[in-house]
Amino acid sequence: MENVLEINSLTKKFGKITAVDSLDLTVEKGSVFGILGPNGSGKSTTLGMLLGVVNPASGSFKWFQGEQTHKVRRRIGAILESPCFYHYLSAENNLKVVAEIKQVDTSRIDVVLDRVGLLSRKNDPFKNYSLGMKQRLAIASALLSNPEVMILDEPTNGLDPQGIADIRDLIIDLANEGRTIILASHLLDEVQRICTDFAVLRLGKKIFQGKVADLDQDKTNVEVGSDDPEKLAAFLSDSHFAASFRKEGSNFKLALKPGIEITDFHRALIASGIVLNRLQINTNTLEQKFLQLLKSESNA
């Protein structure tokens, strides 16, 4: 798979603070890459360096296998901070200003407004837009040059649930069109829903990088209950399915042994005449992973 971005040992210091510390990262073409981290972990500084608005102290990064800088910028669309538009101008006229700056044909304006669902509101002044519409206009603006890569810093910040869902759907659509998306977020659930890959930053250091899909592989933690808890407890003690188990209320929490499938476990229960009234598979959510990582790093 082709990489659109390779970061090597990228570092940024602000006085005594090391905002980004020897960061190595690889982003594959077509991925939706989430950069996760608590406040102040270096997400925005990283994106700033990647876009050339923050100077690195050391290290390097390479876009599109080493494409020249002036060509790179046209291939990337970015929203770094709150959208910056003229309040009294309409959405269309605001995009005309951006198109002029970016030297993009104005015929793209209707295309991108349609893309973000704002075509019918293109004559409304920006000041009358809701927060969600303002954010969608910012995405439209970033789309003017039809970029292959979109960089989004906290794209759903401050939005209501509907606004969040709209932006989420839009990001998924943009990814389905084949664009690579890099987004910084602290909304773990959003990253889990949108992203294919993620990295976790803490105090400027990358403490994890992985695929979101792999989180769902970890289906070994199971909670079970039965109308006959003694029989269930005896099964869990005697059978070779549970690596460990403990009683919790009227149910049992257990870790299946490595390699044991939930279907094998369930079949064996039925064969032993045990009928479950509860079976819950606790998948490893990004939130659990994130909290575990931050905890293990701060204990290290």
Ligand X SMILES: Nc1ncnc2c1ncn2[C@@H]1O[C@H](COP(=O)(O)OP(=O)(O)OP(=O)(O)O)[C@@H](O)[C@H]1O
List residues near ligand X by CB under 6 A: 14, 17, 19, 37, 39-45, 186
What residues does 217 pair with on adjacent strands?
Answer: none
Shortest CB 122 distance to ligand X, Å: 31
- Helix residue spans in the chain (DSSP H): 43-50, 69-72, 91-102, 108-115, 131-143, 161-176, 188-194, 212-215, 229-238, 262-271, 286-299
Whichever of 40 and 229 has its CB closer to ligand X, that residue is 40
Whichever of 186 and 257 has its CB closer to ligand X, that residue is 186
Torsion angle of the four alpha carbons 186, 50, 193, 175, in this order, in degrees rounded to the nearest 10: 160
Q: Report which secondary-structure segment, H or E, holds 256.
A: strand 251-256
Count of H helices and E strands in the chain?
A: 11, 13
- Residue recorded with tokens 């769902």: 216
- Residue recorded with tokens 């759907």: 169
In angstroms, rounded to a whole number, what is the distance separating the alpha carbons of residues 132 and 104? 25
Whichever of 205 and 257 has its CB closer to ligand X, that residue is 205
Whichever of 30 and 40 has its CB closer to ligand X, that residue is 40
Whichever of 81 and 238 has its CB closer to ligand X, that residue is 81
Whichever of 203 and 268 has its CB closer to ligand X, that residue is 203
- What the block records as the tokens of 77 is 């669309």
Shortest CB 20 distance to ligand X, Å: 7
Shortest CB 249 distance to ligand X, Å: 38
150 within 8 A of 78, measured Cβ to Cβ? yes
One DSSP character per residue, 24-76 reads EEEEETT-EEEEE-STTSSHHHHHHHHTTSS--SEEEEEETTT--HHHHGGGE
Q: Look at residues 70, 50, 68 and name the one whose alpha carbon lies nearest to residue 59.
A: 50
Contacts of 53 (CB under 8 A, 6+ apart): 80
Neighbours of 100 (CB within 10 A): 10
Shortest CB 204 distance to ligand X, Å: 7
Shortest CB 283 distance to ligand X, Å: 26
Shortest CB 190 distance to ligand X, Å: 14
Whichever of 148 and 154 has its CB closer to ligand X, that residue is 154
Whichever of 61 and 146 has its CB closer to ligand X, that residue is 61
158 within 8 A of 131, measured Cβ to Cβ? yes
Shortest CB 70 distance to ligand X, Å: 25
Shortest CB 28 distance to ligand X, Å: 23
